[in-house]
Amino acid sequence: MSDTLRPRRSALYMPGANERALEKAKGIPADALILDLEDAVAPDAKEEARVRVCAAASSGEYGSKEIVIRVNGIGTQWHDADIAAAADAAPDAVLVPKVNSAAEVAALVDALEKGGAPVSTKLWAMLETPVAVTDAVAICTASERLTVLVLGTNDLAKELQAIARPGRAALQYGLQACVLAARQAGKVILDGVYNDIKDADGFRAECEQGLELGFDGKTLIHPGQVDPCNEVFAPSEAEIASSREIIAAFEEAEAEGRGVVTVNGRMIENLHVDNARRILALADAIAAQT
């Protein structure tokens, strides 16, 4: 399965200091687990959490879930040791917060390589500052090892001094700019978290907005958010049926030498066929991991 085709509908943050949470995560149907050494861990628990998270990441006990270690940010007192330990643990990816430039991406890749990380351990980068949004294209294209971008919407809203309201009007430019940059570079991009774990309707609405904007999935802070997120970011049965119909009609027209194809009264072009094939490939990838 190619890296861009791997389902990443849901990426759940798990606190690295909480041994019970790491154990519970084995049964949560998230596509990816982000074992967190940053925000979820108090300063005096950082070193213990690092050992626990790296042991979990290298255990092989999480099935088909993608295992990602989020390290502490560049310039913090824990960053270098986090990167070295994560490289040795060889998770599927290492997520770094507040990546602000292509130069930082290059330095992170170099640190992973010096730490002995296998080529299978990819780099994920969080875009969560105004400078990261402004330089998103340079960041996204800085390295082939960088495969996934993650929006840090809470920090971005703070930096913008924006008011958080349903619909995220204040973040629209940043969200769209980062999606554009990711698509230009051929990378996966995940939407930021939704903070109110009791607001199921609001959460679902934001998932649907993220899907409409072009995100591949969403980062989550509670296990209860996983199932609705997976549902929203997966192709529906109607989309799958329509995609099959479009491909069949297009292939039939090609075989007969016809240049014009219509399905249910709609003109079908190559772009519709490409999108239909992407939908079916994603549906197949989701089915393969269950």
Is 2 within the bounds of a domain?
Answer: no
Is 5 within the bounds of a domain?
Answer: no
Q: What is the pLDDT of residue 4?
A: 63
pLDDT value at 243 more than 90:
yes
154-159 LR contacts (CB < 8 Å, sep 24+): 154/128, 154/192, 154/193, 154/195, 155/98, 155/128, 155/129, 156/127, 156/128, 156/129, 156/130, 156/192, 159/128, 159/129, 159/130
Q: What's the mean pLDDT when you consider all of the chain?
A: 94
Is 41 in the same domain as 81?
yes
Is 277 in the same domain as 171?
no
Output the pTM of the full model: 0.94
Q: Kindly indicate the confidence band of residue 268, based on its pLDDT and cuts at 50, 70 and 90.
A: confident
Q: What is the pLDDT of residue 290?
A: 67
Q: Please identify, among 189, 218, 233, the residue that sits at the C-terminal boundary of a domain.
A: 233
Is 223 in the same domain as 283?
no
Q: Please identify, among 187, 208, 233, the residue that sits at the C-terminal boundary of a domain.
A: 233
Q: Please identify, among 233, 255, 271, the residue that sits at the C-terminal boundary of a domain.
A: 233
Is 131 within the bounds of a domain?
Answer: yes
Among 20-24, 54-58, 263-267, the range scoring the smallest mean pLDDT is: 263-267
Is 199 in the same domain as 74?
yes
For the stretch 96-138, pLDDT in tens is 999 999 999 999 999 999 999 999 999 999 999 999 999 999 9
**Residue 281, domain extent:** 237-288
What are the helix and strand counts (H, E) for the chain?
12, 10
